[in-house]
Amino acid sequence: MSIDTPSTGRMEGRIHHLPVRIYYEDTDFSGVVYHANYLRYFERGRSDFLRYAGVRHAELLEGDNPTAFAVNRIVLDFLKPARIDDALVVKTAYETIKGPRLSIRQSLERGGEILVKAEVEACCIALTGRPKKPPALLLERLKPFLEPSGSSF
């Protein structure tokens, strides 16, 4: 990796840590992060977890049976606001895969304090939008990170 390559974060156990910085563009007029932007941080966390595990979105789209993802459920608990210039960490754990569904837990933290929690259910889909079984490549590369008991945080 070159010095100019963006970081995909790091793993601690089976939890992925992705540092993010809050910029002016992320906030409302009061300097507090606009609520919809939390979804962006969590999306980056899920994508960089996959990238860290060796799963590339482009690779999933190649071939005879392309696979994409759709979030079909997300629950956010806003506990405390993030503010301009904050240095935060998105923590992500892929918990289970059942059929086409992936269960994911995430948190956004500042100095170890949880600001926002997310429970996410994503689904593997064909390019037609129909649910489909995850490809073997995805299952193989995520297997070491899945929680046998289903609880991570």
Question: Strands (DSSP E) along the chain, which ranges?
Answer: 10-12, 15-21, 68-78, 87-98, 101-110, 113-125
Residues 120 and 46: their CA atoms lie apart, in Å, by 10
Query: Is-contact 43 117, C-beta < 8 A?
Result: no
**2: burial class by Cβ within 10 Å (0-12, 13-18, 19+)?**
exposed
Contact 115, 40 (CB under 8 A): no
CA 97/CA 68 separation, integer angstroms: 15
Catalytic residues, by residue number, are 28
